[in-house]
A and B are shown apart, each in its own frame.
Chain A
Amino acid sequence: MQKIPFHIISGFLGSGKTTFLKQIIEQYSAEKKIGIIQNEFAPSNIDGAELKKMGEDFNLLEINNGSVFCVCLLGDFVRSLEKFIHQFHPDILIIEASGLSDTTSISEVISAGSLAEKIYLASNWCIVDAQNFAKVGLMKQRVSHQLRMADVVVVNKTDLVDSGLEQIEQEIRKINPFTEIKQTSFCKIDFELGNSAINKFYFGEVKSMSRPDVNSMVIKSARQVSLQSLQLFLSEWAPKAYRIKGFVKLKDNKTVAVQCTFDSVDVLDVDDAFHPTELVALTDRFTLREWTRAFKELF
């Protein structure tokens, strides 16, 4: 069985996640079996009810008991998700993660244990409400760890603001220099079912060629590494991965953002004092154990 792509859509309450989900369901539910996971912290169930009203064909897993906002409660999430996959065999999984969710921990958990044999992290989206983002700069703390690990940041509701979009983009880039930023209103943006990094690679290859099983994996570490050994590490592993990205804490207490695709390794300084190293890889050529071991050797 091919692994199921797992997508994260995060963002603060009211940013437009459910609207985005609705569009994905409308667009794809005829051709694919979609599994939706909702963990809205509050008010419970309202969004779930809204989605169900659509009458389209998809399966919904609601995690009301214990929102996935804290690593303490991820154990139950793993169990529910496993049951859900077993029951419905979805072609694609999308989690709507509330603004309080820790998306890195979600990525880590789905990439470990028995879940890792069934699914892989395909993409991580964060939706930002242009109106509110501009209004409350102080809320950055809350969105920043969702933003920093996002592959795509969608700046939504741009119709409601007259100016300041450029500034929002700058703010986002400061947190996550490599992310793709899309501006829109009503979440009108295209969504890719698989992982774009893999799709790019297979584009132009023989169509029928079956894709090897991909693994996603996460390294979290508190230790600091030297820039030189980080670069050696990345140049060794990047060619074996579709993509490696994330943030690494360096010896001089600086943090760098990292993005690697096959042959390119990009490392950029970012302003950040309070996050540990978090690296995500997507590959079909190594395992988490091998990767972690190699990373540990850097110290």
Chain B
Amino acid sequence: MKGLELIKKAFALEEVERIPWVPFVGVHGGYLTGVDAETYLKSTDEVVKGVSKAIEEYNPDGVPVVFDLQIEAEILGCNLQWAPHNPPAVITHPLANGTSLADLKVPEISDGRIPVAVEATKILREKHPDVALYGLITGPFTLALHLMGTDIFMKLFEAPEEVNAVMEFCTKVGVKMSEYLLDAGCDIIAVVDPMTSQIDPMTFETFVTPYCTEIFDFVRKKEKLSSFFVCGHAQQNIEAMCNCKPDNVSIDENIPLDFVKEIALKKGISFGGNMKLTVVLLMGNEDDSRENAMECLDMGGKKGFILAPGCDLPMDTPPANIKAVSDLVHDPYKQDVVRALEKKESTLEIFNMKDYGQADKVIVDIITLDSESCAPCQYMVEAVKKVAPQFEGVVEWREHAIKKMDAVTFMSSLMVKNIPTICIDGKIAFVSQIPPKSELVAAIQKRINAKLKLKIQQRKSKILLLCSEEAECTGIKQNIHRAITELGKDIEVKVISDKEKMAKYGVAKGPAVVTVNYKLKSEGIEPSLDVMKEWIKEL
């Protein structure tokens, strides 16, 4: 099913076959195309390029067009400080610096950077008719904070009428912005009001509820969908947010997803979130991202849930992490694997693999999800299968599909982190990529050569000649050398004439001949106690 339809279904609380996914790509779009945040947010072309790239890379069901909560504020007279890796920050607040509310006008469609968002929406709408487009507007409370500065918090108590007047104005701005974006082609209006996390439910109901409700009502009248985004510690306000009657609420990692799920579904509203932005998506790796996404998917469920990061993705979030999430969303099989790994990891008993790969044969292990249902795994297994017979029985290969518990243990024991992986005699050789035939052959040959070399080095022999006086054994010595030459052997000959040393071999009087076979048991590793015992038994 196409993204937009899927999202509409989720918004309508219908059971979906796959949970829809909306990566909040803001300035991260600029990262994908190689421009800084300022260039990106000021250019229709760059936004179109960035969002298109994100659609191509992340296969989303919906995307925001522009994620910037300063567009309205800038037009209304707030000074912005631009940064290369972030959306800009508001640094001055007109209503705190002498401007009066009466002087502020609701922005026109041609003001400031509104055309960037509107034009980008039109182009993206045409290019990607099946992807849900989110039009983001600054929530009225956050916009009021931009206009008034932190004075707003004191004024909530000291001058409530003043705050109400500002909120009324910000609501008008919000309705107008929604209209511009919906008319340009957005499917969903997201009212992003993070600063509401700073107030308690009572204040929320007094100063936020009437205003946000008005915006959501307007969107409904336009027969489009709406979402209420909040981030931070806003758990206390979730119920109040739902009471504003948006079609969806979206939250970040600070609020438990199951908590929101319970309230939202009870109120007949869909919900979304709340992958960890910084510690997982930005600073973590693909495994961390998958694990976190899986947790959200399982908690959210297939009714009324949309998987999304908690907020605007940090600009240089590694694309590999977001791709890992996207792959997971689209592949139920991978989801099973992540669940299996997560559950099993903690109770895992690790095999002792210290002496793995010492057998005569070369063992090639392929760790896979399951070559029957995962294409890259299948190709990797095929590659090994084709090459192995060339070595005529010297090479043995095995597949370990980690759907089975012992394969998971085996994988962890070899410290394999990626699927699929080829190990040769217990050492990781090829990760994720299927090696060309020549490389695979070369890698196996190299291991065979190494083993042969070891074997040769292992066998060393010595002949000891025990004689009280050198002259006593000249004849024997000559014969030994002749024998060695005729046999083509590599044997060391040593003469011992010290009485005490001779006694050690149980010889009192020479000449005598002792042959010695040494076998090198190990080199460069510290054999375990059990292995040592086996060696000693042989003696």
Known: A138-B203, A139-B153, A140-B200. A71 touches B277 (CB 8 A): yes
List CB contacts (< 8 Å) of B285-327 with chain A. Answer: 310-312, 314-317
Produce 1/0 per residue, B254-266, CB < 8 A to A.
1111110000000
Produce 1/0 per residue, B276-287, CB < 8 A to A.
011100111000
Known: A43-B149, A71-B310. A145 touches B277 (CB 8 A): no
- Determine if A201 is an interface residue (Cβ-Cβ < 8 Å): no
Of A17-25, A50-58, A73-81, the one contacting chain B is A73-81
Are the CB atoms of B310 and A108 closer together than 8 Å? no
Are the CB atoms of B81 and A65 closer together than 8 Å? yes
Of B132-140, B229-237, B463-471, B530-538, the one contacting chain A is B229-237
- Determine if B86 is an interface residue (Cβ-Cβ < 8 Å): yes
List CB contacts (< 8 Å) of B199-225 with chain A. Answer: 199-200, 202-203
Contact of A75 among B199, B235, B256, B277 (CB under 8 A): B277
Known: A70-B231, A222-B259. A76 touches B83 (CB 8 A): yes
List, in ascending order, chain A residues with CB within 8 A of B279's CB. 108-109, 112-113
Per CB-CB distance, the 9 closest pairs between chain A and chain B, nearest first, are A222-B256, A75-B314, A65-B83, A141-B200, A72-B311, A113-B283, A274-B235, A274-B236, A44-B91
List, in ascending order, chain A residues with CB within 8 A of B200's CB. 138, 140-141
In the assembled complex, the CB of B142 is this many whole angstroms from the nearest CB of chain A, namely 10
Contact of A141 among B198, B277, B278, B314 (CB under 8 A): B198
Are the CB atoms of B150 and A13 closer together than 8 Å? yes
List CB contacts (< 8 Å) of B65-92 with chain A. Answer: 81-83, 85-92
- Determine if B505 is an interface residue (Cβ-Cβ < 8 Å): no
Contact of B81 among A44, A222, A274 (CB under 8 A): A44
Question: Which single residue of chain A is at the shortest CB-CB distance from B88?
Answer: A65
Known: A41-B150, A44-B91. A141 touches B199 (CB 8 A): yes
Residues of A with Cβ closer than 8 Å to B?
13, 41-45, 64-67, 69-76, 78-79, 99-100, 102, 105, 108-109, 112-113, 136, 138-142, 145, 220, 222-223, 273-276, 293, 296-297
- Determine if B50 is an interface residue (Cβ-Cβ < 8 Å): no
List, in ascending order, chain A residues with CB within 8 A of B89's CB. 64-67
List, in ascending order, chain A residues with CB within 8 A of B92's CB. 43-44
List, in ascending order, chain B residues with CB within 8 A of A100's CB. 150, 195, 198
Known: A66-B83, A66-B87, A138-B202. A222 touches B258 (CB 8 A): yes
Are the CB atoms of B254 and A71 closer together than 8 Å? yes
Instruction: Give Cα A75 to B278, complex, Å.
Output: 6
Instruction: Give Cα A297 to B343, complex, Å.
Output: 10
In the assembled complex, the CB of B302 is this many whole angstroms from the nearest CB of chain A, namely 20
Instruction: Give Cα A211 to B174, complex, Å.
Output: 56
Known: A42-B91, A42-B150. A142 touches B283 (CB 8 A): no
19 residue pairs from A and B, CB less than 8 Å apart: A42-B91, A43-B149, A44-B92, A64-B89, A65-B82, A72-B310, A72-B311, A75-B282, A76-B314, A105-B254, A109-B278, A112-B279, A113-B283, A113-B284, A142-B153, A222-B255, A273-B236, A274-B236, A276-B235
List, in ascending order, chain A residues with CB within 8 A of B82's CB. 65
Instruction: Give Cα A276 to B236, complex, Å.
Output: 11
List, in ascending order, chain B residues with CB within 8 A of A13's CB. 150
Instruction: Give Cα A137 to B267, complex, Å.
Output: 30
Known: A42-B149, A70-B231, A108-B278. 6 other contacts (CB 8 A): A65-B81, A71-B253, A75-B277, A105-B254, A109-B279, A141-B200
Instruction: Give Cα A272 to B255, complex, Å.
Output: 14
- Determine if B157 is an interface residue (Cβ-Cβ < 8 Å): yes
In the assembled complex, the CB of B274 is this many whole angstroms from the nearest CB of chain A, namely 9
Known: A42-B93, A112-B279, A138-B200. A71 touches B232 (CB 8 A): yes
Are the CB atoms of B314 and A276 closer together than 8 Å? no
Question: Which single residue of chain A is at the shortest CB-CB distance from B28?
Answer: A75
- Determine if B365 is an interface residue (Cβ-Cβ < 8 Å): no
Question: Which single residue of chain A is at the shortest CB-CB distance from B80?
Answer: A65
In the assembled complex, the CB of B80 is this many whole angstroms from the nearest CB of chain A, namely 9
- Determine if B194 is an interface residue (Cβ-Cβ < 8 Å): yes
Are the CB atoms of B256 and A276 closer together than 8 Å? yes
Are the CB atoms of B278 and A71 closer together than 8 Å? yes
Are the CB atoms of A142 and B198 closer together than 8 Å? yes
List, in ascending order, chain A residues with CB within 8 A of B346's CB. 293, 296-297
In the assembled complex, the CB of B450 is this many whole angstroms from the nearest CB of chain A, namely 34
List, in ascending order, chain B residues with CB within 8 A of A273's CB. 236
List, in ascending order, chain A residues with CB within 8 A of B168's CB. none
Instruction: Give Cα A44 to B154, complex, Å.
Output: 19
Instruction: Give Cα A138 to B155, complex, Å.
Output: 12
Are the CB atoms of A71 and B311 closer together than 8 Å? yes
Instruction: Give Cα A200 to B438, complex, Å.
Output: 63
List, in ascending order, chain B residues with CB within 8 A of A45's CB. 91
Instruction: Give Cα A45 to B91, complex, Å.
Output: 9
Instruction: Give Cα A113 to B345, complex, Å.
Output: 22
List CB contacts (< 8 Å) of B91-139 with chain A. Answer: 91-93, 96
